[in-house]
Chain A
């Protein structure tokens, strides 16, 4: 059992911040790692990236967007409630060293797990540029927090309501042209990460992506999280979640990610029927 100590709305109505009591995990976790949660007896196991690690407090934090059944059900929990199972830290930490200039690219709520990575990269002596994008200004998250950590924050919006008009690739390409970073690290939806890799390839910039595959155990046992790479198949749970983005076979990976889309919709619809309005009620 893991107790929720704090819960906040990061972006109304669907992105939430949770602070969980996790003394042991917080002592071991490093940026780039993840945890697996199971909400209750009938729940599925889902991997969630760490958005904050606080060993002094004995807590970890997660930023979760309510997109499907489990994440929406999680959004109905509040401070004081408990999550039945919390397992972690899992996966390899993000490789942090002094690279020089590092560009972090975050799409959607992928920006959240980049926060601890930005701090670690900064602490290792890097110049850290954050390129973050959303469809419009009201969908941006964590801009303030990242501004406090990074040397530069480039905001892009599809509709031009804030920062550069366009997507993160527009912002990233400007950085690649102006002052080429030694490393690009991207977290977000797979099509965005694929686009980042396509953009950096001509510049020869090493590009690390953090993959969010379907998982069950998270310890290498089930092989569900297979990542097709040019040099063979890897497991996101134990070999990753960070991979050299230029080696990932994106089309196969994205096909695998959507394997259970029909079932996920079915499960979500059934849950919504049973809990009509639950998200908006709790969020309101």
Chain B
């Protein structure tokens, strides 16, 4: 008997999650993941389009309908191996990718209904194999070539993984004491458990990649030394420098950059002080400035540290918030107060401590060059938000350490490395770059995409160099 025409389920299958009232008091993961039953139900919504648009929407072109078909069939290991053809970190990307503006945006279902929950299915495929040993990727025989990768964030990890599979000897240099970059110090445990990151890094090490921590390139080892010792080098140092507003009161105690606030908790476990040595101020009234994912992460972390009231101050309106939809939704559910169309003018303090944040109302007027409405301050509309903690989540800029120690390396006016978007090639032979240090703050998946493109170009470069050399 032939099945009749398929009835489309209009909504995504909900994913079980911790109750907002409970989770805002703990650091455990918010989203609990699909069960096999829920995953197969959601997978059944996929139309398996002949010319799948979702794949085009993915920066690394994961063969989405193929892996979803494998989930439908109940072969989760196969689903994972299909994803891994293009994406090294599915457990990470399933959790933190902005699917709504990438794959899911392009989903055929999205024209009339909710798109297939591609991210949730990707996460399911990865998590289903969490405790499985898993097949080792095929690794080509050693080429005898050495590549240095600077930075162990998403760009560096992806680049290292592909190069290792091609048989090259890869060494990653990481400035901090723990690898993972923003996956470790930036994204909180409740969104991306550290054990997921640690497991992906263990898998990478199994391919023979060596990771040297506490190694600040430009200080401990110069670029000249790297180029003398290695056949090529990939710079994936990210955009790690915090931005401040330059307003009065910024150096009062209680004012944090989001980087510092999140690093204290994520990297140093300050939420477990004094069991862990690094302290953090547990503010009662916290004001977070910014509207991106980092602002959401900071606000939700502040709640988990026990804040009674967390206000998120954003100069535009709700529709312009750049954060992932899910993060905004979760932040609201957990009780973060959104203060739209407000811009800080100064931080008020007493005896060296923050007491409030003074803001001015913004009027949204004509569109600016980014296509968003330009906010303009309304004179006389100043108001105070009482706060003992102010967190600045205004985005980040390029960390100049590596560039400064690499004479001749071309950087743009804002300090980002100039690199070919297709190959990562810089103006110095053998030096490639990718991720946020080239594009400015972007996403985990686009950094991974850049790392992979650079890996292909590095492979071509050292293979050609190999042929050209006389043995």
Contact = CB atoms under 8 A, between A and B. Distances in A.
Interface in A1-43: 24-25, 28, 38, 42-43
Given A223-B259, A267-B279, A88 B241 contact: no
A238 B405 CA distance: 13
A222 B263 CA distance: 7
B269 A216 contact: no
Most buried by B among A44, A70, A90: A44
Interface string B234-256: 00000011101010001111001
B277 A42 contact: yes
Contacts, number: 109
Given A25-B220, A233-B251, A222 B277 contact: no
B177 A38 contact: yes
Contacts of B252: 255
A88 B274 contact: no
A24 B342 CA distance: 50
B277 A220 contact: no
A42 B271 CA distance: 12
A217 B252 CA distance: 20
Contact of B257 (A90, A219, A223, A252): A223
Contacts of A238: 401
Interface stretch (A130-138, A172-180, A182-190, A256-264): A256-264
Interface residues of B, number: 41
Nearest to B399: A220
Contact of B220 (A88, A256, A270): A88
A89 B219 contact: yes
A22 B172 CA distance: 19
A216 B264 contact: yes
A24 B401 CA distance: 18
A70 B401 CA distance: 28
B276 A42 contact: yes
A87 B175 contact: yes
Contact of B216 (A38, A90, A256, A260): A90
B441 to A, nearest CB: 13
A267 B399 contact: no
A222 B399 contact: no
Given A228-B251, A233-B251, A255-B253, A267 B274 contact: yes
Contacts of A81: none
A247 interface: no
A221 interface: yes
A61 B274 CA distance: 29
A230 to B, nearest CB: 13
B180 to A, nearest CB: 14
B219 to A, nearest CB: 6
A42 B219 contact: no
A226 B220 contact: no
Contacts of A221: 185, 240-242, 259, 263, 399
B263 A216 contact: yes
B219 A90 contact: yes
Interface in B399-426: 399-401
Contact of A222 (B177, B219, B250, B260): B260
B97 interface: no
B97 to A, nearest CB: 23
B132 interface: no
Most buried by A among B214, B250, B263, B279: B214
Interface in A228-280: 228, 232-233, 238, 252, 255-256, 259-260, 263-264, 266-267, 270
Interface string B271-314: 00111111101000000000000000000000000000000000
B139 interface: no
Nearest to A253: B251
14 contacts: A28-B220, A28-B221, A42-B277, A43-B277, A84-B177, A85-B213, A87-B214, A216-B268, A221-B242, A222-B257, A226-B251, A233-B250, A256-B253, A259-B253
Task: List the 10 shortest-distance A-B pairs measured between CB atoms, nearest first.
Answer: A263-B279, A44-B277, A255-B352, A87-B214, A223-B257, A222-B260, A223-B242, A85-B177, A221-B240, A44-B278
Given A44-B276, A90-B216, 8 more contacts: A38-B177, A42-B277, A216-B268, A220-B401, A222-B242, A252-B352, A256-B251, A263-B273
